[in-house]
Amino acid sequence: QVQVVESGGGLVHPGGFLRLSCVASGTISSTYTMGWYRQAPGKQRELVAVVSSGGSLEYADSVKGRFTISRNNTGNTVYLQLNSLKPEDTAVYYCYLEEADALTGEPLRHWGQGTLVTVSS
């Protein structure tokens, strides 16, 4: 069983910054991808940033140059640095870990409970 827990959300003024953390624990495959999605009120969940086990990065166009995703050396913790925040960045941010199912080889995604980021003056 894999557990994913996020932290670091909060209220910040426009132009401010936050750092979100996500820790994965439990029985995890040797290779996996971790990343962040977000869901704003009344909108669909959207991809924010991803880091693969090999270290390749992917960002949504809306956050490029402002957000940075990184992983620790053991790979089970990812961070999302949010800079130059805008009101439209307000959302619940969800962390996930994706690995291959041990039996089927199909992608298996584990989600955290989400952390709220509110950008408002």
pLDDT of 110 reads 96
Q: List, for residues 13-31, the tens digit of each pLDDT value.
A: 999 999 999 999 988 888 8
Residue keyed to tokens 């880091």:
51
pLDDT of 101 reads 87
Q: List, for residues 35-51, the tens digit of each pLDDT value.
A: 999 999 999 999 999 99
pLDDT of 67 reads 98
pLDDT of 29 reads 83
Q: List, for residues 50-96, the tens digit of each pLDDT value.
A: 999 888 999 999 999 999 999 988 878 999 999 999 999 999 999 99
Q: What are phi and psi of 78, to 5 degrees?
A: -120, 150
Q: Tell me the three state secondary structure of residue 38.
A: strand
pLDDT of 31 reads 84
pLDDT of 102 reads 84
